[in-house]
Amino acid sequence: MEPTIVVGLESSALDAAGLVEKVRCAAAGGLVVFEGTTRSPNHGVDVIALDYEAWEERVPQQLAGIAAEVAQAHGLLGAVGVHRIGRVAVGEAAVVVVAAAAHRDAAFAGARELIDRIKSEAWIWKREIRPDGSVWVEGCE
C-alpha cells in the first residue's frame, strides 16, 4: 500500500486537524502531529511576526519528494508537510507535519525526520519582523 502524501504551501491559516484527517486510517496506530509556531521572544528579542518566502514553483515537488523518502524510510502510512508563506503572526502555525504509522516509534521518528528535512532542505526562507526592523534568520542553503 502506497503511503498518503499531503504537502504544499499555504498563504492562509493552517488547519492541523483537517490535515490529520487526510492521513488518518484504520491501520495507523500512531499519529504524530507537529506544529511549528511563531514565538516571541526569540533568543531574547521580541518578534512581531515572521515573513516566509519560498520558491513557489519548486517547493511543492521538493516537499513531496522529502515526504515520500521519509515515508519509505520509516514505513509510514501517511505523511503531511504543509508550510505557510507570507506573514505569520505570533502564536500561529508556520508549518504542520503529520506522520501516521502502524506503531508510535515509526510515527515519532518519521515526524522528526520530516520536520528536520523540511527545515534544512526546502527552499523556504524566514524573516523576523521586530519592533526595530526585520532580519533574515533562517532558510535552506
Domain ranges of the chain: 4-139
Report pLDDT for 140.
54
Angle ∠(113,91,38) on CA atoms, nearest 5: 50
Helical axes 104-121 vs 59-74, angle rounded to 10° = 150
Geometric angle at alpha carbon 66, from 110 and 98, rounded to 5° = 40
Q: How far apart are the C-alpha atoms of 52 and 78, rounded to whole Å? A: 26
What is the predicted pLDDT for the residue at 139? 60
> What's the mean pLDDT in 19-32?
98
How much is the pTM?
0.95
Calculate the CA 104 to chain-centre distance.
19
Q: Residue 139: which residues within 8 A CB-CB, separation 6 or more?
A: 123, 124, 125, 126
* Nine cell digits for residue 105: 516509534
26 to 21, 31, 75, 100, 102: CA distances (angstroms): 12, 11, 15, 10, 9
**In terms of CATH architecture, what is 4-139?**
Alpha-Beta Complex (3.90)
pLDDT at position 1 is 78
pLDDT of residue 141: 52
Beta carbons of 125 and 59 less than 8 angstroms apart: no
Chain position carrying cell 515573513: 51
Query: Can you tell me the mean pLDDT for 16-22?
Result: 98
pLDDT digits (tens, 9 = 90+) for 50-93: 999 999 999 999 999 999 999 999 999 999 999 999 999 999 99
Q: In terms of pLDDT, which residue wins out, 140 or 90?
A: 90
* Tens digits of residue pLDDT in 5-16: 999 999 999 999
Cell numbers standing for residue 103: 506503531
